[in-house]
């Protein structure tokens, strides 16, 4: 007996054997069991998703000798003849080859006659969108009111080309594309019954190459069996499809997450041995980064379409969300520019190096003058923004040239438009004077100041000189020296805490000294201390912050605590409602307190109050920032 291809040999013969399309089967099964049958059905969907198969099963259900039901017997003459394609009352028409109106009229001439063998005369018109406009017009009336013994089953891959008059006369069912998981499961079942050895990773490649079509996946499987000499292996399937191993793409993305150029170039060198299509590799990288971004936002939404869900979740925990978005955007732009590169590999390497070049680096924080400088940095791995501003010396000397005097609140005779005050004098002697008459009606304070300065200096310059001669104090309480002393103390590393003294209060300083970063530090900052015993520490993670938590983060916290206390420890992290103050909550509270202190010091400053009272100055509250080191 001649060989029968898998797509035909394993074509479903009952609704129970169908894979997927549950939404279509439910409607058809209920209609058959309740005897609520329509006279015309339209099945739409891409190639190989089961349109013709469902139509043939429906024809069997209508003409089975045991009666109309959703479970045909499959043994009677009608069922066997329909399976073999020789049932006289099942008229299959290929609309692509019979597009003329004469063919349609010839077909409809026999509609009035009763079926020869079966209960219904079924017209199965495949690719119905290929009919001409005249053919559709000829079909309209019969399709709307056919004889009771006639059923029309229409199938098409392009329903947009059908006239709305046809669509309104049919029950339309849209068949969905097959997911890779569903295809792999079906292929495993078939190959297991065929006793053909296979590798799961090879089936995932076939499922992705099928692009949602079950028939295409079976055809590719036939080809893979022949190519692999009776077996389906990952290496043979990759060579047959001309695709690259997804493990190579995973290695490149992992090298990017490490941020080291040598690892990235080494991964590209290993990939180059397989002579890949670098544009396709870049596409696979973008797909991988897209799945990593989804894993960071909604971990449960990550599918296993490529059989690497656990690896994607691990990558999501090791990479920053902003880095993933940066790599994705650079990859999209690089994909557009890749054809312009003189060498495909060189262009691909430049895209990867560009990703690393634009990756944020640690930013140095300025330390006040007079204080011993220490490397205080805010790494890009920190997931929470921190506001900082350079601090002032205890006795700062403002630069006169940078001074911008405020405008008086009330001036009856304004100064000329072309007037511009000269810079404040650098010494007590004024080399070039500007003859300007003081305003006749100004505030009493200004009039008093105008009488005390020489006539050659303007009123504004006098005010600037007075401010320049006085020390500027940014805070009334505490004094600047106390501020510097407090700032120096905040830069000194906190004292080592023993394991026996670990409790709810000491957990926060212990956490601040742990060498953690990225997502792991963010997760640990939302953990509260619960208890500790010999060789064990119990923590509780706030449930609202546990989206990205996995065992890898627990292991990192465990290692950091073991190194801190210089003894092997086992960390247990439970998910629940935080009851005590976590390091993250402590940090937010400290930032709010420092911000409140900074605003209070500004509004309580006598010079600021003088400017507000005399010149109607307005303090821009958003510009107020606390001085000192960053709260980690």
Q: Is the pLDDT of residue 318 over 70?
A: yes
What residues make up the domain containing 185? 180-241
Helix axes 583-604, 606-615, angle to 10 degrees: 60
- 369: in domain: no
**Whether residue 341 sits in one domain with residue 206:** no
pLDDT at 187: 93
Last residue of a domain, one of 147, 174, 201: 174
117 shares a domain with 85:
yes
450 has a pLDDT exceeding 90: no
Helix (H) or strand (E) holding 269: helix 261-272
Distances (CA, A) of 613 to 92, 445, 619: 94, 11, 12
Q: Under 8 Å CB-to-CB from 69, ≥6 apart: which residues?
A: 32, 33, 61
Same domain, 28 and 134: yes
Q: Predicted confidence band at 307 (pLDDT cuts at 50, 70, 90)?
A: low
Rounded to whole angstroms, the Cα distance separating 409 from 614 reads 7
Is the same domain home to 198 and 217?
Answer: yes
Half-sphere exposure (Cβ direction) of 243: Cα atoms closer than 13 Å? 20
292 plus 169 within the same structural domain: no
Burial 194-228 (b: 16+ CB within 10 A, else e): eebebbebbbbbbbbbbebbbbbbbbbbeebbebb
Domain identity same for 90 and 130:
yes
Higher pLDDT, 44 or 358: 44
Task: Please tell me whether residues 110 and 35 are part of one structural domain.
Answer: yes
For residues 552, 558, 563 and 566, what is the CA-based torsion angle, rounded to 10 degrees? -150
Does residue 456 sit in the same domain as residue 430?
yes
65 falls within a domain: yes
Sequence-ordered list of residues with C-beta below 8 angstroms from that of 501, at least 6 positions apart, any chain = none
> Strands 90-94 and 363-364, how do they pair?
unpaired
Work out whether strand 527-533 and strand 536-542 pair parallel, antiparallel, or are unpaired: antiparallel
Q: What is the SS3 string spanning 275-299? A: CCCHHHHHHHHHHHHHHHHHHHHCH
Q: Tell me the helices (H) and strands (E) count for the chain, helix number first.
A: 25, 10
C-alpha distances (whole Å) from 521 to each of 156, 298, 381, 518, 630 are: 55, 19, 9, 6, 16
Q: Let me know if residue 232 belongs to a domain.
A: yes
Instruction: Share the mean pLDDT of the chain.
Output: 78
In a domain? residue 388: no
Asked whether residue 75 falls in the same domain as residue 115, the answer is: yes
- Of the three residues 194, 213, 241, the one that is the final residue of a domain is 241
Q: Is the pLDDT of residue 202 over 80?
A: yes
Helix (H, G, I), strand (E, B) or coil at 378: strand
Which strand (E) or helix (H) includes residue 123? Answer: strand 121-126
Q: What is residue 477's predicted lDDT score, i.e. its pLDDT? A: 43
Query: Is the preceding peptide bond at 478 cis, omega within 30 degrees of 0?
Result: yes
Q: State whether 165 and 210 are in the same domain.
A: no
> What pTM did the predictor assign?
0.53
Question: Residue 80: phi, psi to the nearest 5?
Answer: -65, -40
Q: Is the pLDDT of residue 189 over 80?
A: yes
Pairing of strands 536-542, 570-576: parallel
User: Under the phi-then-psi rule, with left for phi > 0, alpha for psi from -120 to 50, and beta for the rest, what region is 562?
Assistant: alpha
Residue given tokens 């200004």 in the structure block: 446
How buried is residue 540: exposed, middle or buried, by Cβ count under 10 Å (0-12/13-18/19+)? buried
Residues 156, 215 within the same domain? no
DSSP H helical ranges for 195-244: 200-210, 214-227, 234-241
Per DSSP bridges, beta strands 536-542 and 377-378 are unpaired
The CATH number assigned to the domain holding 44 equals: 3.40.50.300
Is there a domain that residue 595 lies in?
Answer: no
Q: 589 lies in a domain? A: no
Collapsed DSSP state (helix, strand, coil) of residue 99: coil
Q: Give the total number of structural domains in the chain.
A: 5
| Interior angle at CA 159, CA 155 and CA 161, nearest 5 | 120
Give every CB contact of residue 161 below 8 A, 6+ residues apart in sequence. Answer: 129
Between CA 195 and CA 203, with CA 201 as vertex, the angle to 5 degrees is 50
Q: Please give the pLDDT value at position 305.
A: 61
597 has which bridge partners?
none
In a domain, 482, yes or no: no
**76 occurs within a structural domain:** yes
Which comes out higher in pLDDT, residue 495 or 109? Answer: 109
Question: What is the average per-residue pLDDT within 302-306?
Answer: 71
List the CATH number of the domain containing 520.
3.30.300.150
Residues 61 and 187 placed together within one structural domain of the fold: no
Structure confidence by residue, pLDDT tens digits, 112-168:
888 888 899 999 999 999 988 888 888 888 888 999 999 999 999 999 999 999 999
**Residue at which a domain ends, from 192, 218, 241:** 241
Four-CA torsion 385, 620, 366, 356, nearest 10 degrees: 40
CATH of the domain at 199: 1.10.8.60
For the ranges 272-286, 322-336, 434-448, 504-518, the lowest mean pLDDT is seen at 434-448
């Amino acid at each position: 007996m001649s060989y029968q291809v898998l797509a035909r040999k394993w074509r479903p013969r009952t609704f129970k054997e169908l894979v997927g399309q549950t939404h279509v089967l439910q409607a058809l099964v209920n209609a058959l069991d309740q005897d609520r049958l329509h006279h015309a059905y339209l099945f739409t969907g891409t190639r190989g998703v089961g349109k013709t198969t469902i139509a043939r099963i429906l024809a069997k259900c209508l003409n089975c000798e045991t009666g109309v039901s959703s479970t045909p017997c499959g043994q009677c003459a009608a069922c066997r003849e329909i399976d073999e394609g020789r049932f006289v009352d099942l008229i299959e028409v290929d609309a692509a080859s019979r597009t003329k109106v004469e063919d349609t009229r010839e077909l409809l001439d026999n509609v009035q006659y009763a079926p020869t063998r079966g209960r219904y005369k079924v017209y199965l018109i495949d690719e119905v969108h290929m009919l001409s406009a005249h053919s559709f017009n000829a079909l309209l009336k019969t399709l709307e009111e056919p004889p009771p013994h006639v059923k029309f089953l229409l199938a098409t891959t392009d329903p947009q080309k059908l006239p709305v008059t046809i669509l309104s006369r049919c029950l339309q069912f849209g068949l969905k594309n097959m997911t890779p998981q569903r295809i792999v499961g079906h292929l495993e079942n078939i190959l297991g019954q065929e006793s053909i050895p296979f590798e799961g990773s090879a089936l995932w490649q076939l499922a992705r190459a099928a692009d949602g079509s079950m028939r295409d996946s079976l055809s590719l499987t036939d080809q893979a069996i022949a190519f692999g000499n009776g077996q389906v292996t990952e290496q043979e399937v990759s060579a047959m499809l001309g695709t690259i191993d997804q493990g190579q793409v995973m290695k490149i993305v992992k090298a990017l997450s490490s941020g080291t150029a040598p690892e990235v170039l080494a991964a590209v060198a290993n990939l180059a041995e397989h002579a890949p299509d670098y544009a396709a590799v870049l596409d696979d990288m973008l797909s991988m980064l897209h799945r990593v971004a989804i894993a960071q936002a909604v971990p449960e939404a990550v599918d296993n379409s490529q059989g690497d869900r656990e690896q994607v979740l691990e990558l999501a925990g090791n990479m920053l969300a902003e880095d993933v978005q940066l790599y994705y955007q650079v990859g999209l732009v690089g994909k557009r520019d890749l054809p312009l590169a003189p060498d495909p590999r060189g262009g691909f390497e430049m895209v990867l190096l560009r990703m690393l070049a634009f990756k944020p680096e640690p930013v140095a924080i300025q330390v006040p003058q007079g204080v011993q400088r220490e490397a205080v940095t805010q790494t890009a791995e920190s997931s929470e923004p921190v506001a900082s501003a350079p601090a002032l010396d205890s006795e700062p000397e403002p630069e006169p040239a940078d001074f911008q005097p405020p405008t008086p609140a009330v001036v009856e005779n304004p100064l000329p438009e072309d007037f511009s005050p000269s810079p404040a004098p650098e010494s007590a002697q004024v080399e070039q004077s500007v003859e300007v008459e003081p305003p006749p009606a100004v505030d009493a304070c200004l009039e008093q100041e105008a009488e005390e300065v020489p006539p050659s200096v303007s009123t504004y310059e006098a005010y600037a000189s007075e401010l320049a001669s006085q020390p500027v104090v940014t805070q009334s309480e505490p004094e600047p020296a106390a501020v510097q002393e407090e700032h120096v103390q905040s830069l000194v590393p906190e004292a080592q805490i023993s394991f026996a003294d670990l409790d709810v209060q000491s957990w926060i300083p212990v956490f601040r000294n742990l060498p953690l970063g990225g997502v792991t530090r963010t997760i640990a900052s939302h953990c509260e201390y619960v208890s500790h015993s010999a060789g064990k520490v119990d923590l509780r993670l706030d449930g609202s912050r546990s989206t990205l938590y996995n065992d890898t983060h627990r292991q990192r916290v465990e290692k950091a605590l073991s190194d801190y206390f210089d003894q092997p420890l086992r960390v247990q992290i439970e998910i629940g409602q935080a009851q005590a103050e976590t390091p993250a909550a402590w940090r937010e509270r400290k930032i709010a307190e420092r911000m409140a202190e900074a605003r209070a010091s500004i509004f309580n400053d006598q010079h600021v109050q003088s400017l507000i009272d005399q010149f109607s100055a307005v303090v821009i509250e958003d510009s107020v920032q606390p001085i000192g080191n960053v709260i980690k």
